[in-house]
Amino acid sequence: MELLDQNKLKRAKTLIYILSAAIPLLVVVLFGIKIEGVNLSFLPPFYATINGLTALILVLALVAIKQKKNMKIHRSLIRLCLILSLVFLGSYVAYHMTSDSTVYGGDYRILYLIILISHIMLSVVIVPMVLFTYLFAWQGNYEKHKKWAKFTWPLWFYVAISGVVVYVMISPYYLN
């Protein structure tokens, strides 16, 4: 892969900035819309599974590049993580557009809130980080990709794992 020319690189960066702002804003707006009469109560375990798969595939992608030096497998696995993240986002928003929020009622409320809030905050932060890290690899700037990946990978992994933890903690309180 060759480096993108400056105009294409500038457009790609602008698109990343737009998406990084638009995605969380869109999620907030869509959370304000409630669609009655649609039961998507099956989605929380589905999107928790998607988070778990994303975490597992992130580990496999890391192993593919670090131990096996297999860029093709690494690239395919990261692309799969991107697709899974989009599926997660769509199912998460769909669930919350059709269901009331569930309140955690357990003894570990403070711990739950710490994990939930860090998960939400980092899920916003990780969007531009993932997209820029991907852009650098896509354009063939592997040195910059590696520098960004050192920060992006653990945060993306945390967001995926903490999503599963949040689901496990809140699942007893879902209304059926």
Mean pLDDT across 18-29: 95
Indicate whether this model's pTM tops 0.85. Answer: yes
Has residue 54 got a pLDDT over 70?
A: yes
Mean pLDDT across 136-148: 94
Cβ(20)–Cβ(126) under 8 Å?
Answer: no
d(CA 94, CA 170): 18
Tokens 């969380």 belong to which residue? 24
Q: Taking each helix axis from N to C terminus, what angle separates 71-98 and 6-31, rounded to the nearest 10 degrees?
A: 30
Both tokens assigned to 27: 């999620």
Q: Taking each helix axis from N to C terminus, what angle separates 43-66 and 71-98, rounded to the nearest 10 degrees?
A: 160
Cβ(94)–Cβ(165) under 8 Å?
Answer: no
Strand (E) or helix (H) holding 150: helix 142-170
Any residues with CB less than 8 A from the CB of 17 and at least 6 apart, and which? 128
Which domains, and CATH codes, for the chain? 6-173 (1.20.120)
Has residue 98 got a pLDDT over 70?
A: yes
State the chain's mean pLDDT as an integer: 94
